[in-house]
Structure 1
Amino acid sequence: MKIDKSIIKELSDYLDEFNLTEIEITEKDTKIKVSKNNVSISNQPVATSANIQTGNENVSKKPNVKSGMEITSPIIGTAYHAPEPGAKKFVEVGKKIKKGDTIMIVEAMKTINHVPSTADGTVKEICVEDGHPVEFGQTIIILE
């Protein structure tokens, strides 16, 4: 079996970009699963698998330094910037908000959860794109 290393590299990049712990892709009879510590590749008909260590452990990474007050997601789900498609966004970069204002909604299991601001401030950065998944504790907004 020939392994396309570019797919593994691309999936590894997604782990960092979306702050995930693992990601899996299936094409025909090949399944590739990449997690923070290993890559697993298996062919379903043969029912074999191999663990491959990625070379990311030796690569020095710049720490992701963020200044300001971070507001994190209280739950796992899909983040939305507005109450419905086409509606006005809850917050935008540069907008002043108060503690308790809804900054985003996170949909989990068909339930809409309003995420309130935990502090007063001005929105410096929105860290998650509209309609993208978020994990518990992931930074979603940074305030000044």
Structure 2
Amino acid sequence: MKIDKKIIKELSDYLKEFNLTEIEITEKDTKIKVSKNNVSISNQPQVISPSTSTTGSPPNQTQNIKSGIEITSPIIGTAYHAPEPGAKKFVEIGKKIKKGDTIMIVEAMKTMNHVPSTADGVVKEICVEDGQPVEFGQTIIILE
């Protein structure tokens, strides 16, 4: 079996771009799964784990380190920047917020969950787009 390094590189780039922990693709009888911790390729029951990570997992992890106070999603769901479409956003870059202020809503199972700020600060970066799916523990906002 020939390993296509381009596919692995492309999947690794998606991990970074969309802040995912793992991604998997299946074509015919070949399955390629890339995660931040390992790269594995399987052909039905066989599993092969290359001893050298072709994409270099450690650089992915070091590039994800951000300066500032990270506020993470408490649940899996869909993130919304405003209480309803067309309404004023909870936070914007440069806005000063206090601990406990609602910074976003994460919808899970038709329930709108207000996400409070865990610290005081100024919004440095909003890490998710309006309507984007988020994972538990995913950084959604960075404060200075």
Distance in structure 2 (CA, Å) of the matches to 1:110 and 1:85: 16
Aligned to 2:127: 127
Q: How many residues align?
A: 140
Q: CA deviation at 1:100?
A: 1.6
- Answer yes or no: is 1:102 the counterpart of 2:102: yes
Scaled by the length of structure 1, the TM-score of the pair is: 0.76
SS at match of 1:106: strand
Matched, 1:51 2:44: no
In 2, distance between residues paired with 1:33 and 1:64? 20
Identity level (%):
78
Moved more, 65-74 or 112-121: 65-74
Distance 1:114 1:60 in 2: 34
Residues 58 and 33 (structure 1 numbering): CA distance in 2 closer, same or farther, change over 3 Å? closer
In structure 2, runs of 5+ residues without a counterpart are none
Residue 76 in structure 1 maps to residue 76 in structure 2:
yes
1:18-71 deviation digits (Å, cap 9, x = unpaired): 3322112345665432223122344xxxx4444242323487565544332221
Q: What CA RMSD, in Å, does the superposition of the two structures yield over aligned residues?
A: 2.7
User: Distance in 1 between the 2:100 and 2:9 partners?
Assistant: 41
Give the TM-score normalised by structure 2.
0.76
Range moving further from structure 2, 21-30 or 94-103 = 21-30
1:82-97 matched pairs, under 5 angstroms: 82-97=82-97
Unpaired runs of 5+ residues, structure 1, are none
Distance 1:49 1:73, change over 3 A: same
